Amino acid sequence: MRSRWSAIPLLALALACGKNPVEPAPTRITALPRALTSGEQRLIDADNRLAIKLLKQVTTETSDTLPNLFISPLSIAMALGMTYNGAAGTTEAAMRATLELDSMTLAEVNEANRSLIKLLRELDSHVKFQLANSIWYDPQFQVEPPFLDATRTYFDARVESIDFRSPGASQTINDWVKQQTQGLIPTIVPSPIPDGVLMYLINAIYFKGDWTQQFDKTLTQPRPFHLADGTSITVPTMAHEHPAKIRSARTSSAIVVDLPYGGQAFSMTIVLPQQPATVDELVAGLTLDQWREWTENLDSLGAQLYLPKFKLENNLSLNATLRTLGMEVAFTEFADFSRMSPTQGVQITDVLHRTFVRVDEEGTEAAAATAVGVGTTCVCGPEPIFVDRPFVFALRENLSGTILFLGVVRDPR
């Protein structure tokens, strides 16, 4: 696994009781345009359970080598959801359990994905949210038409046949990802494409949201950030000139802060442990019920908040992670993807995941891409709140509860 962390200033966010800034905030979105279907709710719950499993497992695997982690569970779930349509037998069962889809039929999963994609794309006009899927396969790979039709119908996927051995094949695929992520994810598949790989199933997500009340850049200044080992560093921190409203909750172990974007359908949720050294314990003990308790008990208030300004990128292989979480068979010669191609024995060769996030005075820009390689063989008022210690954060859609991105910041440099 590889990661690159870009040292950036820290952002200071000052919020307190009082009048609003001069510029009026966008009209607040207080409800979904329609009620969630039971299938959508079950899919969101499944994706959020997967999100927490992934965060725990990747944190365990990378805590010694990767100081900061940022993943998109939604991107991973979408790419694997397309792949799931081609699985059968024990491979289908393993993927169903790993993706937390035991309570749903494949038809229900597909219908819920289709309607949820449409819902998220159209929810908040003040936030730019793009979600795109694609499938690229080599002409020598005999793919079942019903499989490709399902990805077009339910995942709105672009489906292209392309010679994987041609010099420009990876460039074509990477250019699509770059375009869908506004240049933030320039590449996802290797060049040249490894021998044996016959298909890539790819999801790309782009998010850009301005804070409902933005920070004043002139107030950004150095402030301390306390690391898990007990030492402290000084990093630039943002602040508001005018008071702003946030939502917050306090427990014996953590402070939860919710910062809205645009019309407040989307937000950044920060979970700040009471002690710097306990962020890994917080991640290890996290459950979906705990997450719901935190997010459902947020209260509106005015308070001063100091938050790091940061940018980070991760470039991960999720092969080992997904094997550990129960999908081992999908990566072996015993994999059954007969609903994808009954005439060729294939397996998952790689699950590649790249992410980018930048948090500054104006808002947040984030992107992710996930590529599932398939081939013949595996080729690899309150008191001020100081976010001054390692913390967990998420970008989520509040009204449906969908977690878009999830991460841990241990060192904002």
| CATH code of residue 288 | 3.30.497.10
- C-alpha to C-alpha distances, 306 to 131, 162, 265, 407, nearest whole angstrom: 31, 50, 23, 18
**CA proximity to 400, closest of 177, 167, 121:** 121
> Total domain count for the chain?
1
Cα 17 to Cα 306: distance, rounded to the nearest angstrom: 15
Cα 328 to Cα 319: distance, rounded to the nearest angstrom: 9
DSSP 65: T
Cα 360 to Cα 307: distance, rounded to the nearest angstrom: 10
- Extract the residue ranges of the chain whose pLDDT is less than 50: 1-22, 378-380
DSSP 277: G
> 181 lies in which domain range?
1-413
Instruction: Report, in angstroms and rounded to the nearest whole number, the Rg of the chain calculated over CA atoms.
Output: 21
- C-alpha to C-alpha distances, 231 to 285, 380, 389, nearest whole angstrom: 25, 38, 10
- Could you read off the pLDDT of 249-288 as tens digits, one per residue? 988 889 999 999 999 999 999 999 988 768 999 999 999 9
Q: What stretches of 297-396 show up as alpha helix (H) in DSSP?
A: 319-322
DSSP 323-341: IIIIIGGGGSTT---TTT-
Q: Is 210 helix (H, G, I), strand (E, B) or coil?
A: strand
User: What is the structure's pLDDT at 381?
Assistant: 57
Whether the ω angle into residue 192 lies within 30 degrees of 0, i.e. cis, is yes
Beta bridge partner(s), residue 150:
none
Structure tokens, 105? 């039929």
User: What is the structure's pLDDT at 308?
Assistant: 87
Q: What is the pTM of this model?
A: 0.87
User: What is the structure's pLDDT at 377?
Assistant: 52
Task: Enumerate residues 6+ apart whose C-beta is below 8 A from 112.
Answer: 37, 39, 40, 42, 43, 104
User: What is the structure's pLDDT at 23?
Assistant: 52
User: What is the structure's pLDDT at 215?
Assistant: 87
User: What is the structure's pLDDT at 16?
Assistant: 33
For residue 228, how many other CB atoms are within 10 A of its CB? 18
